[in-house]
Every structure is written in C-alpha cells, then in structure tokens.
Structure 1
Amino acid sequence: MSEGLNLLNIQSPCFVLNEQDFKQGIHEFDYALNNHFPHHIVGYSVKTNSLPYVVAKARDFGCFAEVVSDDELELALACGYGMKEIVFNGPMKSKSQFLEAVMGGAIVNIETHREIAWLKELPIDGHYKVGIRLSVNISDISPEDADGDNDFSRFGFNDSTDEFAQAVAAIRAIPQVCLVGLHIHRTTHGRSVQFYRRSVAYAANVIWKYGLCLDYLDVGGGYYGIFRNAPTFNEYATAIYEALDEAGLIDLTIIVEPGNALIAAAFSYYSRIIDVKRLPDCTILTTDGSRNDVDPFFHKDRYMTEIHRKKESAKVVPLQIVAGATCLEYDQLFRLENQQEMEVGDVIEYKNVGAYTLSLTPMFINYFPRVYSLSSDGLKLVRDKWTAKEYIQKSNI
C-alpha cells in the first residue's frame, strides 16, 4: 500500500483504501463465477466494512449490496443501489422495510417465523418472490471443518426437525408468494473448499427432497481473498459447480456474499510514534493509533506490518513494545526484538485491515479516524476524523 503513497500527505492515525485492490478482488471473483455460471451475483457484505465510500464503490465495481438490517438497507439505498440490487438477509428486518423490499424486487431471504406471517399482508393481486434460509450444522455435513461436535447455527430453519418443512409449507400456502431461492450461509475457521462443496451438496439434497423449483442458490460468504497459499476464487466456484452438476442443478443463479475476501487486503492502517519511553527492560513506543482500530476483538496475536523510518539507525534495541494511544494497559500491539531503534515520527503500516475494523471501531477516547482513498487519480480524503461535533450531532445536551 505504501507504494506510490507519500506518507507526508496523510494525517495519522488513518485508514487508506487501495481502490485498485478492491476492484481487482471483485472482478476476479466475478470472473471465476462466470467460468461456470452464466447467471451469478456478487453481493458485497456491507457489514464487513460499511464505510459509505466503500459501499458506493462496490456498486461501481459491479456488486449488489448484501444487507442484514434496516440501517444497512437505508445506507445501501443512499449509496446509489436500487432495490433490485440488494440482497436482504438476517433476522433484524422490520415489518415495514421487509414488505417494502419484497414489493420492490429485492432478493429477500426469509429468516424468521414472523417474516412468514408478514408475507400474508402483501397485496393479494401481486406476485412476489422470496428465498428462505436453511440452517446448516457444520458438524453434520463437514466434520473436519466444524468447531466441536455440534457446530449448529442459530440462523435459518432447521431440516433435522420439522421446522424447515413447516416453513416451506407455510410460504407455499400464501397464494401471492413464490419461493424461488435457498440461502445457506455458514463460515468456518479454515474456509476450506471442501466445506463449500459439501454445503452445496447438502442444499441440493434439500432442494430435491422438497421439490423446490428455485431461481437461485445463495451460498453466502466466508471465502479467502487473494492471498498466497490460500484457496482461489476459481477453486471455490469450481467446487460449487461440481456439487450442483452432480445434483443436476447447474442452471441455478449463484449468489455469493463476500466481505472479508474483497475488502480486507484493500485497506492499510497508518499510525505514527508520538513518544518513546526507555524502561530498564524495554522501550515503549507510544503511537497515535490504537489496537481498537485494527483489532477491535483484541484476539490477534500478530499483524502484517511494515515500518517506515525517517532515517535508518545503527543502534539495535533488545526489546521495543509498540503501544496504542488509549489509557488501557493492554493496548499493546506487537513487539520488536533486536531491531533498529525507532524514534518519534516513524510510521507503522498495518496491512490487510479492511474487514470488521472500521465497522467495529469503538468510540472510545479517540473518535473515528480519517480514511483516505488511493486511486489512479491520487490520494483523497473520503472520511474526515470525527470530532465532538459529529459525536453529539443527534444528542440533546
């Protein structure tokens, strides 16, 4: 990311989006799907990074918007998506937005019993299409990918009981509604290709079991991005195709909902050293950034970093601890052992931090940081740093 980027032109801490990397990821996934499926949709997972500029760019680059709440639906519409370019998932749909989305032609996947009841309120002289989410227990279909002996999902309708059958029957009983899609989103730690092959095969069995006449299969997200020694988009697409080919269902439109796979590698985060403290056993490097920004779950034990020094130092320091700008003792990011001494003004770049960071960054001590975008037109600010003014804009004081 630092290539072609003048670090003197950015105010840290900040995120920087590489638009070309984002565009490349979308186009490579689209190309992989196009090799197997003439009809397919890449739905950008808005929750993964809901920065308005990113959401709008995803549409520019050919994506639908996959949303899971009324707020995300409103955001997608505000960012230029038409209702027919939206995939509406999740249990947090309101009745009004749910009905508006169904009537407006969005791809709406039924998640809850209350949504089935709402379908009955659609105008009886209309014709409406919906999908339904199938609950996937990873332990049952792909034990090697499971997290424990009963890796069930709290989402969707379960076919190991009579719940899925009852949901399908209830939708079929509504004359103005047609069930045209199946949604099977689950993610695994390993993101293996075999899991997608097996989950699609499971979905195919369910389709034949209930005689579902569908337009689409929504496979969901959870894929690796463009990383070395990781499954490729083409390998995922091939696995999906092979499972459907064996089941005689290759004419389905395939929907994927990548988030991390598209946006993680497109972002870097930059922070500067603002203070150096030399203790008996180590040197503390305090930065103007925070672990809250690059690791909001505080579960990473390492980061992909690059250090940009103002000048090279001949002095090697046994231990330097890079710390964040909060008042939390555990806001420590990583350690440098037996490396060149760093000084105030040096910059640290954290790579591959575009997923679940900007969306989850808390308003703790320091408010939302700046975000820049780097394209062939150069560097531009796409979100300024939040101040107290933005923080209190909807408050009464």
Structure 2
Amino acid sequence: MKISWEEVKKHTPCFLIDKELLKKNLEEFQEGILRYWGRGMVAYSCKTNSLPWIMSYIKELGAYLEVVSDTEYALAKKIGCEDSHIVFNGPTKGKEAFFLALRSGAYVNIDSKRELRWLKEYDKLGENAGVGVRVNFDLEAVCPEESLTEGGGNRFGYNVENGDFEQVVKEIRELKNISLTGLHMHTNSKTRSFQVFEELSKKVCSLAVQYDLTLDFIDMGGSFFVKKGEFHKIHEYIKRISDILRQRFCPDKTLLMVEPGSALISTPVKFLTKVLDVKDTNKHRFVVTDGGRMYMDPFMRKTSHVYKLFTQSSNKKEEQIICGHTCMEVDRLMTLREEREIGEGDFILYDLTGGYTMSLNPLFIEYFPDVFVEEKGEYEQVREKWGLEEYLQKNVYGQDGEVS
C-alpha cells in the first residue's frame, strides 16, 4: 500500500530509500564495466546494508550479492538469489556452507588456513571447483598513509611479503580437481582514492606475471568513494582499473568484478526524526529527537550531517545541540549554529544514511525502526517497526519460562 509524505511523518523515526537513485547508482557501475572492460559484474556488499528489500531489489536489477558469513549466504538464497550469483568472501566461513558454495558454482574467495585444509578435503571428493584467493600486501609501501590501522597492516587475505600467498598458490596447484581461478583484492583505505585502485590493479598484474596465473575473474572489492550525483567518478574508477589490467589480461577471457557497498546504498537513504522536546540549561540548548545517533552514525564518528529542517520558525538560534532518544550523553548528533530555531513537533531529515546504518542498528531502549521506499512521491513500507513480539521471539521469559 502506498502512502503520502504526511502519513510517513507519523512513523518517525524511519529510514526512507530513494528507489530511483539506488537503481541509478547500480546502473552506473554496470555501465562503467561494460564500457571500459566489457565482461564483468557488480556484486553488492550485503553487509553494508542487508535489509532484505535492498538485497532483493539489487538482485532483480542484475547484480550479484557478496556475502561474508554463512548467515548472509543463507539470506541471499532465501530472497531468491542463485548460488552462481553469490560471491562468498570472509575469513569465518563454515565448512558446510563452504562446500555448498563450491559445489553450487558460487564465486568463493578463500581467506584462511582452514579453508585451504577444506579445499584439500573437497579435492578428494573428485568434484571440480575453482576458487579465488584474497591477496594481502603492503599497500602502505606504494600508498603511504593510506592504512586504516596506522601502519598496523591488513589482517585479511594471504600475505605476499611473508610468503603465505606463494605457499597457497603452490598448494592449490598440487590439487587434482581444484583450480585457482581468481584474485580478490579488496582493501580499505583512508582516502579510497583512484591511486589506491591503480596500485591494486598493478599488484594483480605483477602477481599474475610472477606466478604465471591465468585468471577467470579479478575481484577488485569495494571501498569506492562516490558523493551524491558524482556518477562520472564511478566511471573513472572503472576506467583506471581497466587501463592497467588490460596490460596483462583480456576481457574476453577474464571477468572484472567490483563489490560496492556504501557507493551504492549510502546516498539513496534518508533518516527522518521528530523533535520531542527542547531543553535549555545554563550551558546549552538541547533539542531531543526520537532518532538516536547510533541509528545513522553507528561508528560514533560524525560531527555534522547533510540535513533538512521542517519547521515554521524563521528565527535564528545561535546554537542548538541535536540529541537522540537514548539516556547517553554521547547521543548527540550534531550542533547547529545560526540556524532556524527548532521546536517540539518539528522534523529533521538526514541525508546519506544508507551505509552500515540499518545493519548496525542496536536493540537499545527502542527497537528497529520503520523503513519506507519512495518512488515518485509515494511511499511503501518495506519493514515494519519492531515491537515486543519481534523482540521476544525465541526468548525464554516470564514466571512459566514461556517461549515466544
């Protein structure tokens, strides 16, 4: 059932998804690959926002789904994604799901010692399979000050410098029925610049030469940084990656894969909150809203937001500290200076709230909020706010130890 904006305002706090912008973001990645490489795929990073509607809609638009746990793998299958359209990453896969993925034709990138042991077990079954290997190398050596760990190194994948990568390649080649078919290059960086992706591409080429690798796919991972409407930047990422990879690989023989998360889902999502109270102290004015900081800033890092005020006031206030609904002092979303005065019953609409928000929303004091999809000015509810029934499910409680 479609409802109006006025009806949506009765459901605060709530997330609002711009359906057309989400589609546009995905299409730009798909078109970039088609234009600059030719053969490839976009695999949406489900951990970034695993709302079932988002995963299902992206799948319907032709994208694959990238998952990093047995639970996410099961979720992808539950919403109708074929195994062959799933990219299975991460260091904590379970053995049963790992074997299922190999047997069912999913793209599997190994990332741990036990997965290598499991490959040897699977090889004895006599079933053919191909796997990718996640690469770990010293990015700081070629892109100084880009590490998120301040020189502490990346903990994912098989390290090139210490010989682990070489050993994995050697052991896979000794198997009768398993082939090394791809490299997985995902890494996080501070700036997520073009240079980072150029260096990742160069590393693919150098490893292919050094170890004489013939690859069916190259998975460049995600961590792209694209501001709202900067569609040209998506194409620039793909162009720079492709220009380097073409020096060693042929698009007719090797698929190019990318795994965008926030670059797809951050910009199409907004978060709507309502003002519940305004309180003055001898220090500040505090504006209390029904949407807490952890709903849209789960890492507790942001000090400012892109926002829109819905208020009839034209008076300017020197300072207003916007707070959430919890009883924590740190639940302060932002400080407005020389902005229109906000009062009880007004609304604040925050933009750019799709990445890692719903996936990391806590069950703290209040439960998961409503989610609506907006299309042409109308709204459809795709998740109903959690209440007691949802919270109590599978819990033991009460004097009689009831299970709900």
TM interval, shorter chain, is over 0.9
Q: CA deviation at 1:148?
A: 7.2
Contact preservation (8 Å) 2:5, 2:378: no
Structure 1 residues 27-176: aligned runs within 5 Å: 27-122=27-122, 124-143=125-144, 145-147=146-148, 150=151, 152-176=153-177
Asked if 1:6 is matched to 2:5, the reply is yes
Aligned residue identity for 2:39: H
Residue equivalent to 2:285: 283
Q: CA deviation at 1:245?
A: 2.1
Alignment CA distance shift 1:258-1:291 (3 Å)? same
Task: Give the alignment partner of residue 254 of structure 1, picking from 256, 261, 278.
Answer: 256
Question: When the two structures are aligned, how many residues end up with a matched partner?
Answer: 392
Residue equivalent to 1:389: 389
Contact preservation (8 Å) 2:315, 2:340: yes
Aligned residue identity for 2:224: Y
Q: CA offsets per residue over residues 89-118 of structure 1, 9 Å max, x none?
A: 001100000000000000000111111111
CA distance in 1, matches of 2:377, 2:96: 41
CA distance in 1, matches of 2:234, 2:314: 44
2:339 counterpart SS class: strand
Alignment CA distance shift 1:369-1:394 (3 Å)? same
So what's the TM-score if we normalise by structure 2?
0.93
Q: CA deviation at 1:144?
A: 5.3
Aligned residue identity for 1:218: D
Aligned residue identity for 2:57: K
CA distance in 2, matches of 1:264, 1:273: 24
Q: CA offsets per residue over residues 198-220 of structure 1, 9 Å max, x none?
A: 11101110111111111011000
Structure 2 regions of 5+ residues with no counterpart? 398-404
Contact preservation (8 Å) 1:136, 1:184: no
CA distance in 1, matches of 2:145, 2:262: 22
Q: CA deviation at 1:48?
A: 0.1
Residue equivalent to 2:213: 212
Aligned residue identity for 1:135: N
Q: CA deviation at 1:120?
A: 2.3
Residue equivalent to 2:240: 239
User: What is the percentage of aligned positions where both structures have the same residue?
Assistant: 34
Aligned residue identity for 1:236: Y
Q: CA deviation at 1:149?
A: 6.9
Q: CA offsets per residue over residues 20-40 of structure 1, 9 Å max, x none?
A: 111000001110111122210
Contact preservation (8 Å) 1:102, 1:129: yes
Q: CA deviation at 1:389?
A: 1.4
Residue equivalent to 1:263: 265
Q: CA deviation at 1:228?
A: 6.0
Alignment CA distance shift 1:231-1:38 (3 Å)? closer
Residue equivalent to 2:402: none
Alignment CA distance shift 1:148-1:70 (3 Å)? closer
Contact preservation (8 Å) 1:84, 1:106: yes
Task: Give the alignment partner of residue 302 of structure 1, picking from 296, 301, 304.
Answer: 304
Aligned residue identity for 1:260: S
CA distance in 2, matches of 1:229, 1:35: 17
Aligned residue identity for 1:168: V
Alignment CA distance shift 1:367-1:356 (3 Å)? same
Contact preservation (8 Å) 2:371, 2:381: yes
Q: CA deviation at 1:285?
A: 1.2
Structure 1 residues 341-380: aligned runs within 5 Å: 341-376=341-376, 378-380=378-380
Contact preservation (8 Å) 1:367, 1:387: yes
CA distance in 2, matches of 1:383, 1:148: 36
Alignment CA distance shift 1:223-1:9 (3 Å)? same
Contact preservation (8 Å) 1:137, 1:150: no
Asked if 1:191 is matched to 2:182, the reply is no
Deviates more, 1:382-391 or 1:123-132: 123-132
Contact preservation (8 Å) 1:139, 1:151: no
Contact preservation (8 Å) 1:183, 1:219: yes
Deviates more, 1:101-110 or 1:165-174: 165-174
CA distance in 2, matches of 1:7, 1:289: 18
Q: CA deviation at 1:339?
A: 2.6
Contact preservation (8 Å) 1:274, 1:287: yes
CA distance in 2, matches of 1:259, 1:314: 39
Contact preservation (8 Å) 1:306, 1:348: yes
Aligned residue identity for 2:271: Y
Q: CA deviation at 1:223?
A: 0.4
CA distance in 2, matches of 1:281, 1:338: 17
Residue equivalent to 2:15: 15
So what's the TM-score if we normalise by structure 1?
0.94
Structure 1 regions of 5+ residues with no counterpart? none
Q: CA offsets per residue over residues 338-366 of structure 1, 9 Å max, x none?
A: 33221111110110010011001111111
CA distance in 2, matches of 1:330, 1:46: 29
CA distance in 2, matches of 1:176, 1:64: 26
CA distance in 1, matches of 2:396, 2:314: 55
Alignment CA distance shift 1:25-1:277 (3 Å)? same
Aligned residue identity for 1:45: S
Aligned residue identity for 1:255: M
